[in-house]
Chains A and B, each alone.
Chain A
Amino acid sequence: MRKQSIVLLSFLTMVVASCDRCKEEPDDFKPTPYNLEIPEGLPDMSIPSTNPLTIEGIALGRKLFYDPILSGNNTQSCSNCHIQSSGFAEPFQHSTGIDGIQGNRNAMPLINLGYQPNFFWDGGATDLESQALGPVTNPIEMHESWQNAVSELRNHADYPTLFKQAFGIDQITSQYVVKAIAQFERTMISGNSKYDRYAQGQESLTDQELLGLQIFTDPMKGDCNHCHVLGSTFSDFEYRNTGLDSIPVDEGRFIITWNNSDRGKFKTPSLRNIEVTAPYMHDGRFMNLLECVEHYNTGFHYAPNLDANLYTATKGRMTLAEMESVVAFMKTMTDHAFLSNPKFSAP
Chain B
Amino acid sequence: MLGVIALSAVMLGCRDKETVEPTPLNPKVNLIFTHKVGNQEITQGQFYTRTSGESFSFDMLKYYLSEAALVNDAGDTLYFTGHHLMDAFNANRKKASGSVKIDDAQMSSFNQLIFGIGVSPAYNTSGDQAGDLDPGFGMIWTWSTGYIFMKHEGQFVDSTGATQPLLYHLGTPRAYQRYSVPIQLQLKKDKTYNVNIDFDFAKVYNNPNLITFTDNNVIQSSGSQDIPWINAVTQNLRNAFAVTSIQIK
Contacts and interface: CB of A to CB of B under 8 A. Distances in A.
B128 A129 contact: yes
Interface in A127-142: 127, 129-131, 133-135, 137-139
B179 to A, nearest CB: 23
Contact of B135 (A11, A135, A174, A256): A174
B134 A175 contact: yes
Interface string B124-168: 011111100011111011111100000000000000000000000
Given A125-B144, A138-B143, A255-B143, A150 B136 contact: yes
A145 interface: yes
Interface in A93-150: 120, 122, 124-127, 129-131, 133-135, 137-139, 145-147, 150
B128 A127 contact: yes
Of A50, A127, A137, A174, which is in contact with the most chain B CB atoms at under 10 Å from its CB?
A: A174
Interface string A249-277: 00100111010000000000000000000
B182 interface: no
A15 interface: yes
Given A19-B12, A22-B14, A178-B128, A146 B223 contact: no
Contact of A258 (B12, B126, B136, B224): B224
Contacts of B126: 126-127, 129-130
B1 interface: yes
B143 A124 contact: yes
B222 interface: yes
A180 to B, nearest CB: 11
Interface residues of B, number: 31
A174 B134 contact: yes
A330 B189 CA distance: 70
Contact of B144 (A16, A173, A256): A256
B167 to A, nearest CB: 14
B218 interface: no
Given A133-B140, A255-B223, A175 B14 contact: no
B138 A146 contact: yes
A130 B9 contact: no
Contacts of A45: none
Interface in B171-228: 172, 222-224, 227
B128 A179 contact: yes
Contact of A126 (B5, B14, B125, B143): B125
Contact of B1 (A4, A125, A127): A4
Contacts of B8: 8, 12
Contacts of B1: 1, 4
Contact of A133 (B13, B14, B135): B135
Contact of B143 (A12, A19, A127, A134): A134
A137 B142 contact: yes
A138 to B, nearest CB: 4
A51 interface: yes
Give the one of A16, A120, A124, A130 with max B CB within 10 A.
A130
Nearest to B140: A133
A38 interface: no
Residue among B9, B14, B136 with the most chain A CB within 10 A? B136
A105 to B, nearest CB: 10
Interface in B1-20: 1-2, 4-5, 8-9, 12-14
A125 B146 CA distance: 8
B135 A146 contact: yes
A202 interface: no
Contacts of A8: 4-5, 8
B5 A130 contact: no
A155 interface: no
Contacts of A22: 14
B142 A51 contact: no
B14 A138 contact: no
Given A50-B128, A130-B126, A255-B222, A174 B12 contact: no
28 contacts: A1-B1, A7-B5, A11-B5, A12-B9, A15-B9, A15-B13, A16-B12, A19-B14, A22-B14, A50-B128, A120-B143, A124-B143, A126-B126, A127-B128, A129-B126, A130-B128, A130-B145, A131-B145, A133-B142, A134-B141, A134-B143, A134-B144, A145-B136, A145-B138, A146-B136, A175-B130, A255-B223, A256-B144
Closest 10 CB pairs of A and B: A124-B144, A129-B128, A130-B127, A146-B136, A130-B145, A138-B142, A258-B224, A126-B145, A133-B127, A134-B142
